[in-house]
């Protein structure tokens, strides 16, 4: 019967087993009465009932002990993992806190005391910025005075300031270190001047942080000393309490992050992986123009819906892409009606802890107001345009008059030489200005007046192939477009992307031998659209493959001179434009057999 009781409770638990145990007890009593009445055999049911009760109590007690031990292990382990503080690190934190006080208070010495296992105060950290009036252990009266003042402050739970016995203008200030209504130690500060009440708030805040540091240190020490049977001891209960204090302290410190986020100038939101919003700062609420009182119940998609534009019309697709690939989604959202430009960024935040490294934790949404920055960039663009116009106008005149003078037959030979130099130098200066403008264009954040719209890259490729056919035929190059299935649109600036594709096709035509083929193709790859330009030219030498995308770099092949007409900015422009649109460039080449330049852009 005892074995049956034990198995039942172990399998189903005490509450679910109660009807069964009650039935067993009634069965024993009924069997005893029936056997005594019908067959004259008296069965002693009391020992059986005692055995059932003892067995049930023992099994349930063991189950509670196991669960309690698991709870203690998890609680202590969690707090220990979150707050591992070696003695040296703990002391370093305490000294750092004293140094923080030193920036405000004119102190000559500070000592942090903590309670030992017997409840006595012992020194945990000590800072002596100067040698004036040290608290020396060898001077027992001074040391006892310090200890007594700290004990009084801990008992009264208040800051106590008293004049020092060795100086009329110096004071001893004792502050209890408390957190979660528990005093874990005290700090004694010796000031070189009077204690100001305005410093009380700072002392209390720093003291609270020091108390949390001491609690972590104590929890870590208990964590290292735990044993299998300790769960039944008073030390086990102390471990649980210390762990709770530590966890509460960590939760309090984690709130620091939300307070910092609230002060940022850009909008920040944190979304759980179930789509609900864990945090939204006031700046994002302002940018999203949430109606009063509705933000608390909004979810991730309701928040993103507030930023819908023509290139961001399906927030769910953007979120899906971030969750599937782990890559950050970035877009510039323009609202012409309000003359506003926002920068949107959606990121998947992953754990960096060693145990669960790489595990997705939450989604972070950042929205920044780029309107003023765009206006500033437009002003720079206008100034550069003005400079280029003002410089090019006189250069055009100089170059034109130099050509007229150079055509004059009666001009002396030495004068013609001077005019030729003027014409050549003016042309060189003109090329330098063009190069300067190209470099400036690449270094600008927006590269030009960027207006991203839904764009079909296959249509862009087809248009460029048609426009460059005359140039290809002139060099006896066969320029073809590879047919493709329907390609989804991308969010892009048409003029920039068109120029990027044109640069790739022009380079392929320029550096391909006669009677070869240049192929332009578009294709869909997962969540991106690829544009590729393939030639059967000379290929890129291995030493140059990693540098062809750099500014001003020009490939020099064996037996050939550098192309003086090239600025080395064409491929660099392609890379800058593609990366600005959130894409990537690629190169596949084999020397003597041709090259394949390509880039990808995220699809809508």
| Domain match, 460 and 583 both | yes
| Domain match, 519 and 437 both | no
User: Which H or E run contains 127?
Assistant: strand 121-127
Residue numbers of the chain with a pLDDT score lower than 70: 1-18, 20-21, 24-25, 27-52, 54, 56, 59-65, 67-89, 129-140, 165-169, 219-257, 292, 354-356, 388, 435-436, 438-450, 556-567
| Domain match, 598 and 458 both | yes
Question: Which residues, in sequence order, are CB contacts of 228 under 8 Å at separation 6+?
Answer: none
Model confidence pTM above 0.75: no
Question: Which residues, in sequence order, are CB contacts of 224 under 8 Å at separation 6+?
Answer: none
Residue 80 lies in a domain: no
Residue 241 lies in a domain: no
Residue 512 lies in a domain: yes
CATH number of the domain encompassing residue 548? 3.30.565.10
CATH number of the domain encompassing residue 277? 3.30.450.20
CA distances from 85 to 79, 96, 223, 444 (A): 11, 15, 11, 47
CA 349, distance to chain mean position in Å, is 6
DSSP string, 222-269: HHHH--GGGGGSHHHHHHHHHHHHHHHHHHHHHHHHHHHHHH-SSEEE
| Domain match, 34 and 121 both | no
From 312, 316, 304, 302, select the one nearest 335 (Cα to Cα).
Answer: 312
| Domain match, 464 and 583 both | yes
Using CA atoms, how far apart are residues 98 and 189, in angstroms rounded to an integer?
A: 9
How many other C-beta atoms can be found within 10 angstroms of the C-beta atom of residue 274? Answer: 7
| Domain match, 438 and 458 both | no
- Which structure tokens are listed for 579? 């990366």
| Domain match, 127 and 68 both | no
Strands 329-335 and 340-350, bridge-based pairing: antiparallel
| Domain match, 66 and 95 both | no
Residue 139 lies in a domain: yes
Write down the residue that tokens 């206006």 correspond to: 375
From 181, 182, 164, select the one nearest 172 (Cα to Cα).
Answer: 164
Using CA atoms, how far apart are residues 304 and 299, in angstroms rounded to an integer?
A: 9
| Domain match, 56 and 132 both | no
Residue 428 lies in a domain: yes
Can you say whether residue 155 is alpha, beta or left, with left for phi > 0 and alpha for psi between -120 and 50 degrees?
Answer: alpha
What is the per-residue pLDDT for 530? 93
CA distances from 112 to 1, 93, 161, 173, 188 (A): 62, 11, 16, 12, 6
Can you say whether residue 582 is alpha, beta or left, with left for phi > 0 and alpha for psi between -120 and 50 degrees?
Answer: left
3-state SS assignment for residue 416: helix
Domain C-terminal end among 225, 245, 272 = 225
Using CA atoms, how far apart are residues 336 and 353, in angstroms rounded to an integer?
A: 44
What is the per-residue pLDDT for 347? 92
CATH number of the domain encompassing residue 412? 1.10.287
Domain C-terminal end among 176, 208, 225 = 225
Helices (H), 326-478: 371-407, 413-443, 457-467, 469-474
DSSP tag of 295? G
Domain C-terminal end among 363, 393, 418 = 363
| Domain match, 358 and 378 both | no
Q: Each residue of 479-505: b (16+ CB within 10 Å) or e?
A: bebeeeeebebbbbbbebbbbbbbbbb
| Domain match, 566 and 515 both | yes
DSSP tag of 197? G
Q: Each residue of 17-37: b (16+ CB within 10 Å) or e?
A: beeebeebbeebeeebeeeee
Q: Which residue segment(s) compose the domain that 583 sits in?
A: 453-602
DSSP tag of 593? T
Per the DSSP assignment, residues forming a β-bridge with 335 are: 340
CATH number of the domain encompassing residue 166? 3.30.450.40
Contact 217, 90 (CB under 8 A): yes
- Report the C-alpha dihedral over residues 390, 395, 396, 399, rounded to 10 degrees: 170
Q: How many domains does the chain divide into?
A: 5
Contact 533, 505 (CB under 8 A): yes
| Domain match, 105 and 44 both | no
Using CA atoms, how far apart are residues 420 and 553, in angstroms rounded to an integer?
A: 30
CA angle 81, 101, 217 (to 5 degrees): 20
Write down the residue that tokens 């709870």 correspond to: 71
């Amino acid at each position: 019967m005892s074995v049956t009781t034990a198995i039942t409770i172990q399998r189903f638990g005490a509450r679910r087993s109660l009807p069964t145990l009650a039935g067993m007890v009634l069965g024993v009593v009924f069997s005893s009465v029936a056997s005594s009445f019908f067959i004259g055999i008296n069965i002693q049911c009391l020992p059986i009932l005692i055995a059932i009760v003892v067995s049930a109590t023992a099994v349930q007690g063991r189950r509670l002990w196991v669960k309690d031990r698991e709870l203690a292990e998890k609680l202590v382990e969690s707090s220990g993992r979150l707050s591992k503080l070696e003695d040296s690190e703990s002391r370093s934190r305490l000294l750092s806190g004293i140094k923080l006080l030193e920036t405000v208070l004119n102190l000559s010495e500070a000592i942090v005391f903590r309670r030992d296992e017997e409840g006595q105060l012992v020194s945990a950290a000590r800072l002596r910025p100067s040698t004036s009036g040290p608290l020396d252990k060898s001077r027992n009266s001074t040391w006892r005075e310090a200890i007594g003042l700290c004990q009084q402050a801990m008992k009264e739970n208040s800051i106590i300031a008293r004049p020092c016995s060795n100086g009329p203008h110096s004071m001893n200030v004792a502050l209890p270190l408390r957190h979660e209504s528990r005093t874990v130690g005290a700090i004694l500060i010796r000031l070189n001047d009077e204690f100001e009440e305005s410093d009380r708030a700072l002392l209390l805040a720093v003291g609270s942080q020091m108390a949390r540091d001491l609690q972590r240190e104590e929890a870590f020490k208990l964590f290292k000393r735990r044993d299998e049977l300790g769960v039944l001891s008073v030390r086990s209960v102390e471990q649980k309490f210390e762990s709770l204090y530590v966890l509460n302290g960590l939760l309090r410190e984690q709130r620091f992050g939300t307070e910092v986020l609230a002060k940022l100038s850009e909008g920040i939101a944190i979304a759980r992986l179930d789509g609900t919003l864990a945090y939204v700062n006031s700046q994002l609420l302002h940018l999203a123009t949430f109606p009063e009182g509705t933000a608390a119940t909004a979810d991730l998609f309701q928040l993103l819906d507030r930023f819908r534009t023509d290139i961001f019309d399906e927030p769910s697709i953007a979120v899906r892409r971030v969750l599937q690939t782990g890559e950050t989604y970035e877009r510039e959202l323009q609202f012409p009606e309000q003359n506003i430009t926002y920068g949107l960024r959606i990121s998947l935040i992953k754990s960096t802890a060693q145990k669960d490294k790489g595990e997705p934790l939450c989604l972070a949404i950042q929205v920044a107001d780029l309107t003023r920055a765009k206006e500033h960039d437009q002003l720079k663009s206008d100034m550069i345009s003005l400079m280029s116009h003002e410089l090019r106008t006189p250069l055009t005149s100089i170059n034109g008059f130099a050509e007229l003078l150079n055509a004059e037959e009666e001009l002396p030979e030495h004068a013609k030489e001077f005019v030729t130099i003027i014409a050549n130098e003016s042309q060189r200066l003109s090329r330098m200005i063009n190069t300067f403008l190209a470099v400036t264009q690449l270094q600008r954040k927006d590269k030009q007046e960027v207006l991203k719209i839904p764009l079909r890259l296959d249509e862009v490729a087809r248009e460029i192939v048609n426009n460059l056919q005359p140039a290809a035929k002139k060099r006896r190059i066969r320029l073809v477009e590879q047919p493709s299935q329907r390609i989804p649109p991308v969010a892009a600036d048409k003029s920039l992307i068109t120029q990027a594709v044109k640069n790739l096709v022009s380079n392929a035509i320029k550096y391909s031998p006669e009677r070869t083929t240049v192929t332009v193709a578009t294709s869909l790859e997962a969540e991106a659209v690829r544009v590729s330009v393939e030639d059967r030219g000379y290929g890129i030498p291995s030493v140059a493959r990693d540098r062809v995308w750099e500014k001003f770099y020009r490939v020099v092949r064996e037996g050939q001179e550098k192309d003086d007409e090239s600025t080395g900015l064409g491929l660099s422009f392609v890379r800058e434009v593609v990366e600005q649109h959130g894409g990537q460039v690629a190169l596949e080449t084999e020397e003597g057999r041709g090259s394949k330049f390509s880039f990808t852009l995220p699809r809508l």
